[in-house]
Amino acid sequence: MSSHLVVIIPALNEEKTIGSVISRIPRNIPRVDTVSVVVVDDGSADATADIARENGAIVVTHPYSMGVGAAFHTGLKKALSLGADYIVNIDADGQFDPHDIPKLLQPIIDTDAEFVSATRFASPELMPEMPAIKKWGNRMVVRVVNALTGKQFTDVSCGFRAYSREAALRLTLFGRFTYTQESCIDLAYKGVSMTEVPLKIRGEREFGKSRVASNLWRYAIKSASIMFRAARDYQPFYFIGVPGLVILAGGIISGVFVLLHFLSTGETSPYRSLVTVSGILTIIGFLLLFISLLADMTHRNRILIEETLYLARKRAYAEKDE
């Protein structure tokens, strides 16, 4: 049975590097019969799309810049429609070496994993040169994602990744700004087997600035928003219910304290204000617990909907393959 690899390259104004990236993608990979390249031109104002076509890539163009997350999602759908058995995403700026694609893909070909991410930080000797603030930010994001998923990632922001067809069919993303952290969280909660491959990666772009990480504050806020929503969607009871329990406990404890004081002295003074505080905290705590139960019920429905969506995608793309 033949196997087909599709390499996705999201690109925005990358005319200086896109040709080199495409030309260096290996075409002879063990146990891969055919290799296709899909460039998602995210509204470029330069010759990115023309150069990509000249180098043999299939080009899908957005009418305007919709964000890296949206470009990746477009590329993923195109790859599946082309009948991809394996999908690799690589950036167009030249920071990743296309010659490393076989290394990245190997765990999936060997059926040891369905999702593989390159990691820049697992091996000290492969640590890229980058500003200290970026390294610190990456460590913080990794800790948050690991806490949410129970995994032991070392790098959740690297865009050099490989997916099996099954993993791609199961992936559901909402973020338009970026997709890296959300992909890890989504696939981890769906039980997709995953691993990391340490690779040597350039820390800084040779030309231009990163549209994702050029403004660290904007990147931090956008990434935090995506992870916040993912935590809300996948762990609603813990996300809403645990704070509710804490608030409820605060209300009950303060109320019991005032009650014991009243029973021993016959007065609520000087803790009279705690009566109001206790009542407010108790009501808020109960409301949050109730909302968390509703959210958990909604999450169960989402699991059923996601499974239905997966089967619908599988059927739809199987028909396109035929």
- Structural domain boundaries of the chain? 4-234, 236-321
What whole-number distance in Å separates Cα of residue 84 and Cα of residue 193? 19
What's the pLDDT band for 215 if we cut at 50, 70, 90? low
d(CA 100, CA 25): 9
Q: pLDDT tens digits for 88-119?
A: 999 999 999 999 999 999 999 999 999 999 99
Instruction: Say what percent of the chain tops pLDDT 90.
Output: 57
Residues 138 and 155: beta-carbon distance below 8 Å? yes
Mean pLDDT of 300-316: 89
What number is the average pLDDT over the span 275-289? Answer: 94
Answer whether 84's CB lies under 8 Å from 165's CB.
Answer: yes
Range 4-234 classified under CATH 3.90.550.10? yes
Q: What is the DSSP string of 11-23?
A: ESS-TTTHHHHHH
- Six-digit token string for 211: 């549209």
pLDDT over 80 at 163, yes or no: yes
Mean pLDDT over each residue of the chain, to the nearest integer: 88
pLDDT digits (tens, 9 = 90+) for 6-43: 999 999 999 999 999 999 999 999 999 999 999 999 99
Please write down the long-range contacts of 52-55, taking CB distance under 8 Å and 24 or more positions apart: 52/9, 52/11, 52/18, 52/19, 52/22, 54/19, 55/18, 55/19, 55/22, 55/23
Q: Are strands 161-164 and 115-119 parallel, antiparallel or unpaired?
A: antiparallel
Distance CA 279, CA 275 (A): 6
* Sheet hosting strand 34-41, strand order edge to edge: 58-61, 34-41, 4-11, 86-89, 161-164, 115-119, 194-198
Residue 178 pLDDT > 90 = no
What is the C-alpha to C-alpha distance for residues 167 and 310, in angstroms, rounded to an integer? 10
SS3 288: helix
Is residue 288 over pLDDT 70? yes
What sign has the CA pseudo-torsion 70, 73, 79, 82? negative
pLDDT at residue 203 greater than cutoff 80: no
What's the alpha-carbon Rg for the chain, to the nearest Å? 24
Q: In this structure, are residues 9 and 90 in contact, taking their beta carbons and an 8 Å threshold? A: yes
pLDDT of residue 300: 85
User: Would you state the torsion angle of the CA atoms of residues 23, 24, 30, 34, taken in this order, to the nearest 10 degrees?
Assistant: -20
Burial zone of 39 (CB within 10 Å; 0-12 exposed, 13-18 middle, 19+ buried): buried
Q: pLDDT tens-digit profile of 66-83?
A: 989 899 999 999 999 999
Query: Which residue would you say has higher pLDDT here, 149 or 203?
Result: 149
Q: What is the mean pLDDT of residues 284-298?
A: 91
Residue 127 has pLDDT above 90, yes or no: no
Residue 321, pLDDT score: 60
**229 — pLDDT class (breaks 50, 70, 90):** confident
Percent of the chain with pLDDT over 70: 93
